[in-house]
Amino acid sequence: MNETENQKENFRQRCAVLQDENASEGFTVPMEETATKKRGNKKTRIALVIALSLVLLAVIALGGVSVYYRSAFLPGTVINGYDCSGVSEAGAAEFLLGTAKSHTAQLRDAQGDAVVALPLESFVDTDGFTAALEEYFDAQHAEAGLFGWMTKGERSLETDVYTVSDTAAAGELLSRVLYDETPRQAPVDARIVLGEDGYTVDPGSKGNLVNLANCVSAIAEQLPAVRDLREESPVIEAKNAVIRQNVTAESPELLAQRAAIDAYLATEVTLDFQDGNTYTLTPQDIWRMSDVTLSDAEGQTVCAPVPEKVKALSDALADEYALDGVYAKFHNAEKTRPYIYYRVGDTGWILDRDALASDIAAALETETDATVTPSYDTSWYWKQEYWFYNFTDTFVEISLDNQYMWYYVDGKLLVETPVVTGNIAAGDDTRRGCFRIASMTTDTYLVGPTWNDHVEYWMPFDDQIGLHDSSWRTEYGGDIYLTDGSHGCVNTPLDAIATIYNNITVGTLVVVY
């Protein structure tokens, strides 16, 4: 039997003795009531013990927490954006400095263009930040006391994390990052490119060169203000960080140049050839016969016609549009032959090309829309009272069908002679039309692909086609020209060509029909 059971047995025996004594004295003590009272006293004692234990535990806990927070930041402490409650000074420093070193700043131009991503590890002020944490930690606990952790409220610290103490070193770092990241190219200005048929706008290129000085200045000024370490990629904005084009496609000076050229090319010049044909110069026509100076001594864009180019264009237009002149009635000096209807101006002789070129140039120089009416030299072929073409009284007349030539001076027949014209079989036909003697030469050689012939007299009237003697021939006229004609010239007996040469002048009319 153990001790507890012995105690219970002794208690029952005592109760039995007491009950016997009380019974002999006339009353009885209920055993059950006595046990109940005992149990109530026991519960009270237990409750008291528990309460005292809880109080003791609370005191121990409060003391433990107070001791813990003596080496940690108090609740509600936020440092540079991060909750550091309950974190030791060393732990907070290690975490916050590590976070700061892992960040990368986005360097941008003031216009929003990205420049480079710059690692910030080299800019972390470890000593300064650690000192600021230590100072704040000490101040926090000195003010709060032992149980300051029980006081509610916000406790925050925002202190500098980054610094740029050495701008030269910062520039070297930025340079390394820039040039290691991508090749750098200087910007190329936009410009107007003048071509054969017009102009184009070369937009150039933006390039990606960076103004290191401006960037370093912006970093030194703005980086220390970056304190919220939750921001992993803070933006630093630098004015004129990127070296930009001086001239873009939208720059006023380039737009002014374009406007000046466009206005010049828009000049509307219409040529009215008075025979139902008109032609309006295209911008391409105007461009090809003009010269453009984008910026003269005064910085102005100058467009101007070039005389030689204008003349070339007017000649081309005359060749195309003035050759279809009116059909004329040829009234020769010998009244016995009937009138011959013939087209005038096959070589453009009747159109004054120099005057046409001058009129075109004048319109372009003033940029004035105009209708230019080509002038015609009518003095030598037009007699208005008869309303037909009259070739004056001095001219050379050549009939291809008759292989015959006449030369009239002042209305009188001076020379008539059979001739040999271009070889029909060889395709060297002499061209029909109205021409003028272009030049006069004696004792010369006519040279071609397969010939080199000496002549005494040479008078071209249609480019390299002209009148000349032909010592190699003994017969003229008839059908010789059909198979044994010339290369296009009018072969003439020596005595006849000598008389004509000695009595004719440059500019005399030659009619071939």
Beta carbons of 337 and 346 less than 8 angstroms apart = no
pLDDT in tens, 349-374: 467 788 899 999 999 999 999 999 88
Say which DSSP state 182 is in. S
Tell me how many domains the chain contains: 4
Is residue 219 domain-shared with residue 299, that is, in the same domain? no
Is residue 244 domain-shared with residue 260, that is, in the same domain? no
> Can you state the angle between helices 31-69 and 3-24, rounded to 10 degrees?
140
Is residue 92 domain-shared with residue 208, that is, in the same domain? yes
Which residues of the chain are under the pLDDT cut of 50?
4, 7-8, 11, 15, 17-19, 21-29, 31, 34, 62-64, 324-329, 331, 333-349, 379-390
Beta carbons of 419 and 492 less than 8 angstroms apart = yes
Beta carbons of 412 and 492 less than 8 angstroms apart = no
Is residue 505 domain-shared with residue 361, that is, in the same domain? no
236: Cβ–Cβ under 8 A, 6 or more apart, which residues? Answer: 105, 106, 107, 108, 118, 218, 219, 222, 223
| pLDDT in the model for residue 381 | 44
Is residue 18 domain-shared with residue 81, that is, in the same domain? no
Is residue 474 domain-shared with residue 497, that is, in the same domain? yes
Is residue 203 domain-shared with residue 80, that is, in the same domain? yes
Query: For residue 183, which of 157, 210, 213 has the smallest C-alpha distance?
Result: 210
Is residue 329 domain-shared with residue 202, that is, in the same domain? no
Listed residues 248, 278, 301: the one ending a domain: 248
- State the Cα–Cα distance between residues 435 and 511, nearest whole angstrom: 6
Is residue 44 domain-shared with residue 191, that is, in the same domain? no
Is residue 233 domain-shared with residue 107, that is, in the same domain? yes
Listed residues 69, 85, 112: the one ending a domain: 69
**Which domain does 499 fall in, by range?**
392-512
Q: Where are the beta strands (DSSP E) in 39-112?
A: 77-79, 82-83, 104-109
**Nearest 5°: CA angle at 416, between 411 and 417?**
160
> Can you state the angle between helices 167-181 and 212-222, rounded to 10 degrees?
120
- State the Cα–Cα distance between residues 127 and 319, nearest whole angstrom: 91
| pLDDT in the model for residue 207 | 84
Listed residues 218, 248, 278: the one ending a domain: 248
Sign of CA dihedral 135, 139, 142, 145: negative
